Amino acid sequence: MDIERFDKLGEECGVFGVYDFDGNDVASTIYYGLFALQHRGQESCGIAVSDTNGPKGKVSSRKGMGLCNEVFTQESLGELKGDIGVGHVRYSTAGQSCPENAQPLVLNYVKGTLGLAHNGNLINALELRHELEYSGAIFQTTIDSEVIAYHIARERVNTHSVEDAVAKAIRKIKGAYSLVVMSPRKLIGARDPYGFKPLCIGKRDNAYILASETCALDTVGAEFIRDVEPGEIVTITKDGIQSDCSMCLPKGEAARCVFEYIYFARPDSCIDGVSVYQSRLQAGKYLAIDSPVDADIVVGVPESGNAAALGYSLESGIPYGTAFVKNTYVGRTFIKPKQSSRESSVQVKLNVLKESVRGKRVIMIDDSIVRGTTSDRIISMLREAGASEVHVRISSPPFLWPCYFGTDVPAREQLIAYNRSIDEICDLIGADSLGYLKTERLEQLSEGLPICKGCFTGEYPMEPPKDDIRGDYDK
């Protein structure tokens, strides 16, 4: 089956974990939490639960390919009994999209059982994997996360507690990770020292929750407690939350992925205290200040372009409008129409409200252009609907470098902005004018929190691998 990803970036995953001290089953809470995180991955999902009062090695799990509502039924959720559990939604950037690579990973080892869900990409996973393979380990998946799980299991044999094993294991790994780990009696969350990927803590009654985004806490009726700090390991037990900050870097050295604010995260989430919606609104305002143009209407390419379009409108005084109706049943991936068929991938996803743009000079705000393969089509759709001019404004700077930390920004040669001027890109996509967010505006989107902007500047917070190793396990 030929699956198309729109010309948008993919996130690597969303994670969720719960420990209910009152002993209630947590599977359905995890399900709704994953549902709220579905935008972070639609290829596969899974839930693993355990009973903290039951036998130490017993974990029930279910995972499969597809969306949460395709993989789980009320019946299958009812079979997952336990008061502690972790869940995962996946989008693959390293490791194939196949059932074996679905998470959470569940590992039975000498000290009991581990369940692990991971968001991010490691840059030294290949080397660590080879080391483990030479010492006899047999891998069942082609994902980085299994390397982490193995290391935790190995360290656990010689450490006093599972959190110490997690701490020792993550000292060996390099790259981006937000992890939730379930041991027979503890729920652990860890965020890499740069804090590339988000992770937050919530509480509902007597249950503690770990989630990739705060929108998942809202969905399950939990109150936000705080973010896990970059480099922090939190251990949740009946005695409360213990924090280990021995891996934390000085505050100014963190490097959150700025693309969480621009595109990945849901607008109703806050990451490290910064509202995603506000940062998109702000990006639109900066575009209006830095790339003004006379027009009749400002429209956003849904969903992430909408808040930036509103920001542009507020700053410029040009009316905000809706030009696109999105088919909400199409995810970020779907079955690509055959070349011979008359359906167009873009049109399956978006349709233009002709009444809204006919005879008008339109400013169209999108969050990014990766390869540029869909931008020209969307612009032609606006012109076919009667727009007299189409001015494109992008709420991020041009992509010039790949990402090694869990986002599928591809190799440079595939990026439309590589080796091209803005005018050349504008011609290629068929716009009347084109403007990008200035790189120096990026820090302001995170309200001054230190960010990674490697895919725009080529300056990464850590030495990137010499070769593009993404997906190498599959070779």
Nearer to ligand SF4 (CB atom), residue 85 or residue 195: 195
User: Cβ 409 to ligand SF4, closest distance in Å?
Assistant: 5
CB of 140 to ligand SF4, least distance (A): 28
Q: Which residues 6+ apart lie within 8 Å of 199 measured at CB?
A: 15, 119, 178, 180, 189, 190, 191, 210, 211, 212, 227, 228
Q: Is 366 annotated as a binding residue?
A: yes
Residue 222: how many other CB atoms lie within 10 Å: 23
Is residue 92 a known part of a binding site?
no
Asked if 121 is part of the footprint of ligand SF4 (rule: CB under 6 A), the reply reads no
Size of interface with ligand SF4, in residues (CB under 6 A):
12
Write down the least CB distance from residue 274 to ligand SF4, Å.
15
Greatest CA separation for the chain = 72
98 known member of a binding site = no
Annotate each residue in 208-247 with x if it binds ligand SF4 (CB under 6 A) or - if it does not, as one string.
----------------------------------------
* Of 90 and 156, CB closest to ligand SF4: 90
Residues 6+ apart with CB under 8 A from 259: 9, 396, 407, 455
Residues within window 374-403 making contact with ligand SF4, judged by CB under 6 A: 403
324 binds ligand SF4 (CB under 6 A): no
Angle at 164 between CA 160 and CA 167, to 5 degrees: 165
Residue 270 assigned to a binding site? no
Choose which of 196, 263, 277, 312 interacts with ligand SF4 (CB under 6 A).
196
Q: Which is nearer to ligand SF4, 257 or 281 (CB)?
A: 257
Q: Annotation-wise, does 304 bind a ligand?
A: yes
403 labelled as ligand-binding?
Answer: yes
User: Could you write out the three-class secondary structure of 212-259?
Assistant: CCHHHHHHCCCEEEEECCCCCEEEEECCEEEEECCCCCCHHHCCEECH
Report how far residue 190's alpha carbon sits from residue 243's, in angstroms, rounded to the nearest whole number.
10
Q: Pull the structure tokens for residue 287.
A: 């575009």
Least distance in angstroms from the C-beta of 119 to ligand SF4: 12
Quote the distance between the C-alpha of residue 375 and its chain's center.
22
Closer to ligand SF4 by Cβ: residue 31 or 259 = 259
Give min distance, CB of 259 to ligand SF4, in A: 4
Establish if 299 lies at the interface with ligand SF4 (CB under 6 A). Answer: no
Q: Which of 178, 396, 407, 446 binds ligand SF4 (CB under 6 A)?
A: 407
178-182 and 187-191 beta bridge pairing: antiparallel
Q: Which residue in 31, 312, 405, 473 binds ligand SF4 (CB under 6 A)?
A: 405
Nearest-5° Cα angle at 249, 247 to 250: 145
Q: Closer CB to ligand SF4, residue 311 or residue 454?
A: 454
Among residues 103, 453, 465, 473, which is the contact residue for ligand SF4, using CB under 6 A? 453
Q: Which is nearer to ligand SF4, 259 or 312 (CB)?
A: 259
13 is catalytic: yes
Check residue 449 for interaction with ligand SF4 (CB under 6 A). Answer: no
Q: Is 455 in the site for ligand SF4 (CB under 6 A)?
A: yes
Q: Which is nearer to ligand SF4, 195 or 202 (CB)?
A: 195
Supply the minimum distance, in Å, between the C-beta of residue 440 and ligand SF4. 15
Burial of 410 (C-beta count, 10 Å sphere; 0-12/13-18/19+) = middle
* Spatial contact of 368 and 283, defined as CB atoms under 8 Å apart: no
**Interface with ligand SF4 includes 452 (CB under 6 A)?**
yes
The span from the CA of 450 to the CA of 201, in Å, is 21
68 carries a ligand binding annotation: no
Q: For the segment 249-268, give every residue that binds ligand SF4 (CB under 6 A).
A: 257-259
Least distance CB 404 / ligand SF4 (angstroms): 7
Residue 330: how many CB atoms within 10 A of its CB? 14
Residues carrying an active site annotation? 13
Annotated binding site: 257, 304, 366-367, 403, 452, 455
Annotated binding site for [4Fe-4S] cluster: 257, 403, 452, 455
Annotated binding site for Mg(2+): 304, 366-367
Residues at the interface with ligand SF4 (CB under 6 A): 196, 257-259, 403, 405, 407, 409, 452-455
